[in-house]
Structure 1
């Protein structure tokens, strides 16, 4: 597996409004998308940091804390390597990502590397 860096970070929290304000007002991250219960901040690298309110649908599997995404050059190949190693894949793959559960019980993600 060819991991080239961290490519995504997502947090599902009951304090989503406060976390989003902290990211914007204190850390200076630029919001590129907002909707009720969901914020996307795009880093200069082009990768995203996302905040989800705990009631935001579709992220219920983010149940162990922040989810870090490892950027890989060959997503399909990396997912095949996870399967071959018997790693639990979480949910359906998206067009550029796949969540999985690590041996520590936490949820992580593989994300397609930016060109």
Structure 2
């Protein structure tokens, strides 16, 4: 007789096969309108922070101007918090003398 070990592999049960990873809830990064930031500022910010092309940045600038807010990104909570914080830290708009700081952004659950 040999001392070799034998490994027995059982097939996965139905419960184990059907188990799928849970998807993380999604959140919107919402940019809010104000009169102290130019379209150019928004376009540049969208390009630097989100790597959006100029056209997408302009589209977001127009939407925030017309609607009062615009969704910049839908992502996980942690990533949304990072992007919101980056918007808040982006700085003032040098094209508008009365501008004192960054634009406002929030995160909200995506529906």
| TM-score tier after normalising by the smaller chain length | under 0.3
Relative to the length of structure 1, the TM-score reads: 0.21
Relative to the length of structure 2, the TM-score reads: 0.22
Larger relative contact order (C-alpha < 8 A, sep ≥ 6)? 2
Higher strand share: 1
The structure number with the bigger radius of gyration is: 2
Higher helix share: 2
